[in-house]
Amino acid sequence: MLDHETTKPVEQLKGEYVKRKPEARKVYIVNGYCRVSRRWELTDAEDVNRCIYIKTGTPLFAGFTY
């Protein structure tokens, strides 16, 4: 768990609550790496049926109070 706001690549944030941008409203949870699509899966924290896939190395905003 991060104790301060920071931007890190997605591969360093597995299991963390993240946002795509600091001012974003949507909060995601980094689930893990999908070998089929070769991207990281992020699940919406409020709707578990909604997920997005992002490339390795994509910076995400983490460490905020949720």
DSSP for 28-64 reads EEEEEEETTTTEEEEEESS-TT-EEEE-TT-EEEE--
pLDDT in tens, 1-59: 555 678 999 999 999 999 999 889 999 999 999 999 999 999 999 999 999 999 999 99
CA distance 25 to 41: 18
Contact call for residues 18 and 61 (beta carbons, < 8 A) = yes
- Taking residue 8's Cβ as centre, other Cβ atoms within 10 Å add up to 15
Q: Tokens 């997920």 identify what position?
A: 51
The reported pTM is 0.86
Q: Where are the domains of the chain?
A: 6-62
